Structure 1
Amino acid sequence: MPEAAVRAAVPEDAPEIARIQLVTWRTAYADLLGEQALAELETTAEQQWAEAIAHPATTVYVATEGVHTVGFCVAGPAPEEEVASASGELPEDAGRTGLIATILVEPRWGRRGHGGRLLHSAAQGLRRQQKDRGISWVAESDSASLSFFRRAGWRPDGTVRTLDTGERRLREVRLTGQLDIELVG
């Protein structure tokens, strides 16, 4: 197997990140999101990823295998509205909480440890920012992602939200866990 690695994204990565997101969403989430959301993604994703890469408070990571970019992750400080309870109250550790906004690995590169390496790198980056707990939102029906985070020791904290994709309503659960993640194997 060619060498696998994770690095911070650069502006030139935006088109490939957008491509991976579109392929992965079409493969894994088409039924959850609907065609309208996927069509909108086609026209906006590359620009959105260029903006995310340039954003000073977040880091976009890319997973590579040999010369191929195979996945990505974005992490940064958790905004108050993301870490607050359903009633709007902030936990004591709100300022020390990071957000893993997304982790996606293109399906054909799955089951090769790329997701774990991305999560580990993002957690290390958040720890360097003085964060000691992380959160992430995952579709309630996405058993693969829920299982991935559970293996990392992250659990639902009881908070849910519903997103409107224009065609469907997507229910997400908030997961939380420590950032002292160790890679195994």
Structure 2
Amino acid sequence: MSTADTSVRVAWRADALAIATLQAAAWRERYGPVLPPELVAQIVPELFEEKWAASLDRPGDARNRVLVALEHSTVRGFAVTAPSTDDDADPVADGEVSELTVSPAHRRAGHGSRLLQACADTLRADRFLRATMWLDASDDAMRGFVAATGWAPDGAHREVDPVGDGVVRLKQVRLHTMLVGDDD
């Protein structure tokens, strides 16, 4: 019996293209049904690569982390942790998972679970007490996956405008989890 060589680590600048490629594929899948085809066609890795490279070289906060899920040496997913940017957040106690993406072709292989656990461990190491995550209200699969690991809605919701023109509005719900238990 052989086991897959899988892991999660902090992303390096050399991972920028792989992360951008995953983000473009995920955004085409996510926004494809709601955006005009000409806009979906513009969602390409080059749109994101330089921003990822700059972010990996110079994070805005020492607690901004980009994690990558690897299979052998190939990036299969990525996640971003940071201090929460929500208006009602405690900047010391609340961290967030602002992105959790796994390659559509490599889902259900454990990469998402490893990334989510690494996010919780990273936020805990950065001394956050609670973690939040915004999910599209219609993404039942992602919500079910995250809820199965102990995350729950906290009653907050919002609408986001991914294009910036007010035509497409996505409803999102916020989930949260405590990072410390009663014995911590």
- Secondary structure class of the residue paired with 1:137: strand
Using CA pairs under 8 Å that are at least 6 residues apart, name the structure with larger relative contact order, 1 or 2.
1
Deviations 1:59-112 (A, max 9, x none): 100000112110000001112xx151xxxxx5xx55211110010000111101
Aligned length: 172
2: CA distance between counterparts of 1:6 and 1:142? 24
Cα drift, residue 28 of structure 1? 4.1
2: CA distance between counterparts of 1:164 and 1:9? 28
- Structure 1: which 5+ runs fail to align? 85-89
Structure 1 residues 77 and 38: CA distance shift in structure 2, 3 A: farther
1: CA distance between counterparts of 2:8 and 2:35? 28
Match of 1:60 in 2: 66
| Structure 1 or 2: more helix by fraction | 1
Match of 1:172 in 2: 172
TM-score w.r.t. the length of structure 2 is: 0.84
* Percentage of matched positions with identical amino acids: 33
Cα drift, residue 24 of structure 1? 2.0
Match of 1:44 in 2: 47
- Taking only aligned residues, the RMSD between alpha carbons, in angstroms, comes to 2.1
- Structure 2: which 5+ runs fail to align? none
Q: Match for 2:13: what amino acid?
A: P
Match of 2:78 in 1: 72
2: CA distance between counterparts of 1:38 and 1:124? 36
- Secondary structure class of the residue paired with 1:116: helix
TM-score w.r.t. the length of structure 1 is: 0.84
Q: Structure 1 residue 8 and structure 2 residue 41: aligned? A: no
Structure 1 residues 34 and 159: CA distance shift in structure 2, 3 A: farther
Cα drift, residue 137 of structure 1? 0.4
